Amino acid sequence: MKFKFWGVRGSIPSPGPRTARYGGNTTCIEIRSDDDTLIVIDGGTGIFALAQSLIAQKLLPVQANIFITHSHWDHIHGLPFFTPLFIRGSRVRLHGVTDPVTGNGIEHVMGVQLQNSYFPVSETQMDATIEYKTIHIGQPEPVGDAVVHNVVMNHPVTDLGYRVECNGKSVFFTGDHEPHYNPHPAGHPEHDSCQRHIEERNRAIDAAVRGVDVMIVDCSYTREEYPAKQGWGHGTFDSAFAMALRAGARQLYCTHHEPTRGDDELEAVFADVMARHAGQLGAMQVFLAYEGLEVAVA
């Protein structure tokens, strides 16, 4: 099994000279199982570059399984530009959860974007076979020779973390995730019930990531930036390190880079957090994700 980053920025595309080394496209990760099943996690603007790569390698038509962590724009706004959707013989299956507030399923994600007000081509004009698969919380999904597990993370909308397993190897991606916190002070009438809920959610997440080979984690903020961003649904480098160490991960890839942070600033932030964790990481390797980085899960 191997994976490749096609988009590593969060919130909004940020192309330009300041982000040229790590890339300015938003979230998209390609995973290839041992039998070459194509699994794509999220459809940010990076999915367009993935599509261009498939064309260059003459791999179309293609069978693609796209798993959406959540429906915020930076994780879906590349979907209508995924070229296989326009190629006869391609089969694209879009996996996602039903929104518990609106009741809208994953098909709504494409339906909204393909309205004439926002995009000039309707789904009926796309030549691929497009299928929609509703994900049920905690239910594994077989895809080729791989299995995709899910767990609910912490974000302002329902966000699924995905664990992809194939022949004993595993990769976990958090999507957007902020460590749980209790907004109610001790003694508040809702403090205890909220704390029990947090502990239940954390147990589920810890079970989902335990023993994983590779973790790919939302590292949007520094610990200094976080207090002003609390409640926005994103984590810090420090919280990602803690999560990966708790899981016993062999490798951690930091992603969802803050769009205002240029490459030099990103490397400086990373160097600082690595220095502070010196001696604490054991055998775990830590990397900054960048567009084009391809990793074989050994």
Q: Model confidence over 12-53: pLDDT tens digits?
A: 999 999 999 999 999 999 999 999 999 999 999 999 999 999
Q: CATH number, domain at 134?
A: 3.60.15.10
pLDDT, tens only, 154-207:
999 999 999 999 999 999 999 999 999 999 999 999 999 999 999 999 999 999
Would you say 209 and 163 are in contact if contact means Cβ atoms under 8 Å apart?
A: yes
Domain containing 68 equals: 2-296
Residue 64 has pLDDT above 90, yes or no: yes
In this structure, the strands spanning 141-143 and 129-135 are unpaired
Q: Given this model, what pLDDT does residue 101 score?
A: 85
Report the amino acid identity of residue 268: A
The mean pLDDT of the chain is: 97
Note the pLDDT of residue 89.
Answer: 97
Name the strands in the sheet holding 294-296, side by side, starting at the edge strand that comes first in the sequence: 129-135, 91-97, 63-67, 38-41, 28-32, 2-7, 294-296
How many other C-beta atoms are found inside a 10 Å radius of the C-beta of residue 10?
Answer: 24
Q: Which pair of structure tokens corresponds to residue 269?
A: 């932030």
CA 87 to chain centre: 26
Q: How confident is the model at residue 124 (pLDDT cuts 50, 70, 90)?
A: very high
The token duo for 26 is: 């938003």
Domain count, the chain: 1
As a three-state string, the secondary structure of the chain is CEEEEEECECCCCCCCHHHCCCCCCECEEEEECCCCCEEEECCCCHHHHHHHHHHHCCCCCCEEEEECCCCCHHHCCCHHHCHHHHCCCCEEEEEEECCCCCCCCCHHHHHHHCCCCCCCCCHHHCCCEEEEEEECCCCCEEECCEEEEEEECCCCCCCEEEEEEECCEEEEECCCCCCCCCCCCCCCCCHHHHHHHHHHHHHHHHHHHCCCCEEEEECCECCCCHHHHCCCCCCEHHHHHHHHHHHCCCEEEEECECCCCCHHHHHHHHHHHHHHCCCCCCCCEEEECCCCCEEECC
* pLDDT number for residue 116: 92
Task: Give the residue-averaged pLDDT of 108-119.
Answer: 92
